[in-house]
Amino acid sequence: MSASLAVPSNVLPSVRFRRRMALLVVCCASVAAFLIYLKVDPIEFFRDFHFVSDLIKQMMPPDLRLLWVKHGLWTSLLQTVAMAFFGTLIGSIIAVILALFAAGNTSPSWALRLGVRTLLAVERSTPNIVVLLVLLIAVGIGPFAATLSLCIGTVGMFGKLFADAIEQVDPLPGEALIAAGASRLQVIRYATLPQVAPSVVANVFYAFDVNLRLAVALGIFGGGGIGFELHLAQSVLRYKDMLACVILILVLINVMERIADALRRRLFLQEV
């Protein structure tokens, strides 16, 4: 076996290595080109870095007295959690309902299906901040606008995902129910939904995670809650208060993550 078989050139290791290197060079070159085009000067970046370090010095030490002096802070924190919670809950329920209309196997008509799919696509491509700014005009500053905006974002984020999950459900259990005289709605209730439930639940947890962070950010833009406190502290240059808020937010996100994890673990253990 001295005359070895020729390895096809597209899988030859040396050829593949050269191809990888070429790709790397192209990537580096395009990054450099962009930096030059956007006039990003790395030297300036380091020169101006003292602004950042000055700010951090001004923030130190965080004014943690705020936590027991200023009771409104806790209310704001709770408000942010409530925004994320209701935004996720209501948004997910609407997402599931719309998904049933958008999935080929459960939708009552193709026209409705097309309409809902288009609506979801539009929602998905609209950034939360844009939705919020529009809603602020309509319903005014405060957590209601932010919750509504999170709702709409959740529907956009998961409506299509749920619809795709529904379309991938095994059709045979449902057909067996049809054969026993069940109606389409009964099939959805007893064959389709039980099959998509785990993926829906997992995604709802993920949505809450995303929405909690978004709720903080939307607060800064007038959505209320802890984000708004942060914004207030910043606008009156109370940097020590700001850092206290940031710490509170970090703790909040971590604690909520733990709680969600524990809940999820319980849910998924139970069904064995």
Partner 1 sequence: MLEVKGLSKRLPTGKTILNDISFRVDKGEFVALLGASGAGKSMTMRAIAGLTSVTAGEVVFSGESGKCYTTITASGKTSGKDLRRARRNIGVIFQGSNLVKRLPVLDNVMIGRLGRIHPLRSWLYGFTDQEASEAMAALERVGMAGFASRRTGSLSGGEVQRVAIARAIFQRPLLYLADEPVSSLDPKNAEAIMQLMQPLAREHPILGAFHQPGMVMHYCTRVIALHKGSIIYNGAPNLSAKQLDEIYCGQADRPEATQELTAAAES
Task: In whole angstroms, give the CA distance from residue 256 to residue 267.
Answer: 16
What gap in Å lies between CA 70 and CA 242, rounded to an integer? Answer: 13
User: Does 199 help bind partner 1 (rule: CB under 8 A)?
Assistant: no
Residue (127 or 198) nearer to partner 1, CB: 198
Token duo for residue 41: 């000067």
Task: Return the SS3 of 43.
Answer: helix
Selected binder of partner 1 within 34, 49, 74, 190 (CB under 8 A): 190
Give the pair of three-digit tokens for residue 272: 């064995």
**Residue 271 in contact with partner 1, rule: CB under 8 A:** yes
Q: Using the rule CB under 8 A, is 185 a contact of partner 1? A: yes
197 touches partner 1 (CB under 8 A): yes
72 near partner 1, rule: CB under 8 A: no
Single residue of 186, 201, 206, 231 touching partner 1 by CB under 8 A: 186
Q: Which residue has the tokens 């609506």?
A: 119
Q: Is residue 269 involved in binding partner 1 (CB under 8 A)?
A: no
Q: Binding to partner 1 by residue 173, rule CB under 8 A? A: yes
Binding of partner 1 by 194 (CB under 8 A): yes
Q: Provide the sign of the torsion angle of the four alpha carbons 221, 225, 229, 230, taken in this order.
A: negative
The residue from 3, 11, 111, 172 that contacts partner 1 (CB under 8 A) is: 172
Contact window for partner 1 (CB under 8 A) among 36-44, 147-155, 183-191, 202-210:
183-191
H-helix or E-strand containing 212? helix 193-218
**Site membership for partner 1, residue 180 (CB under 8 A):** yes
Q: If you compute the radius of gyration of the chain from its CA atoms, what whole number of angstroms results?
A: 26
Q: Which stretch binds partner 1 (CB under 8 A): 40-48, 57-65, 85-93, 175-183?
A: 175-183
**Whose Cβ is closer to partner 1: residue 199's or residue 234's?**
199
Interface with partner 1 (CB under 8 A), residue from 96, 177, 245, 252: 177
Angle made by CA atoms 145, 146, 149, in degrees to the nearest 5: 85
Q: Rounded CA gap, 87 and 89, in Å?
A: 6
* Tokens 């974002």 sit on residue: 153
Q: Are 106 and 166 contacting, i.e. CB atoms less than 8 angstroms apart?
A: yes
Which stretches of the chain are assigned E, i.e. beta strand? none
Q: Is residue 150 a contact partner of residue 215, using CB atoms and an 8 Å limit?
A: yes
| Least distance between partner 1 and beta carbon 188 (Å) | 9
Contact status: 77 vs partner 1 (CB under 8 A): no
Q: How many residues bind partner 1 (CB under 8 A)?
A: 22
Binding interface with partner 1 (CB under 8 A):
172-173, 175-183, 185-186, 189-191, 194-195, 197-198, 271-272
